[in-house]
Chain A
Amino acid sequence: MQAIDDYITNLRHLPPAPRVVPELMRLLNQPDVESSKVVKMISFDPALTANVLRICNSAYFGSASPTSDLQEAVTRLGFQQVYQLVAAATGARMLSPAQIGYGLEQGELWKHSVAAAVAAQIIARKTGDNENIVFTAALLHDIGKIVLSQSLNGVYSKLIKETEMNQLSILEAEKKILGVNHAEVGGQLLERWKFPPNIVSAVWFHHTPKGAGAHQRLASLVYLGNMIAFFMGHGYGHVAFALRGRVEVLTTLGIEAEAIPQFMIETFEQMHLVEALFALGG
Chain B
Amino acid sequence: MVTEDRTEATANLMVGIADMAVSHDPNVVLSTYPLGACLGIAIYDPVAKVGGLLHSLLPASSIDPKRAADRPGMFLDTGLAAMICRAQDQGAKVENLRVFVAGGAQIMDEASPFNIGMRNYEVLTELLAKLNVKIYAEDVGGRTNRTMRLSLADGEVRLKFSGQARLIALCKPSTIT
- A→B interface (CB under 8 Å): 102-104, 108, 163-164, 167, 169, 227, 230-245, 247, 250, 257, 260-262, 264-265, 268, 282
Q: How far is the CB of B107 from chain A (nearest CB, A)?
A: 5
Q: In the assembly, what is the distance between CA of A163 and CA of B107, in Å?
A: 11
- Which parts of B21-39 form the interface with A (CB within 8 Å)? 33-38
Interface size for B (C-beta < 8 A) is 32
Check A261–B63 contact: CB distance below 8 A: yes
Do B67 and A265 have beta carbons less than 8 Å apart? yes
Contact: B144 with A265, CB < 8 Å?
Answer: no
Residue of B nearest to A172 (CB): B108
B44-52, B85-93, B110-118, B168-176 - interface stretch:
B110-118
Minimum CB distance partner of A239 in chain B? B143
Name B residues whose Cβ lies closer than 8 Å to a Cβ of A.
17-18, 33-38, 57-58, 63-64, 67, 74, 105-109, 112-117, 142-145, 162-164
Task: Indicate if the CB atoms of A241 and B105 lie closer than 8 Å.
Answer: yes
CB distance from A268 to the nearest CB of B (A): 6
9 closest residue pairs by CB, A with B: A103-B163, A245-B109, A257-B113, A245-B112, A233-B34, A233-B36, A238-B163, A241-B143, A231-B37
B58 near A265 with CB under 8 A, answer yes
Nearest chain A CB to B141 CB, angstrom units: 9
A209 → chain B closest CB, angstroms: 14
Q: Which residues of B contact A163 (CB under 8 A)?
A: 143
Are the C-beta atoms of B162 and A240 separated by less than 8 Å? yes
Could you show 22 A-B contacts with beta carbons less than 8 Å apart? Answer: A104-B163, A108-B162, A167-B108, A227-B114, A230-B107, A231-B116, A234-B34, A235-B145, A236-B163, A240-B163, A241-B107, A241-B108, A243-B108, A245-B109, A245-B112, A245-B114, A260-B116, A261-B116, A264-B116, A265-B63, A265-B64, A268-B17
Contact of B143 among A227, A242, A245 (CB under 8 A): A242
CB distance from A80 to the nearest CB of B (A): 27
A238 to B34, CA, bound (A): 14
Bound-state Cα–Cα, A169 to B106, Å? 12
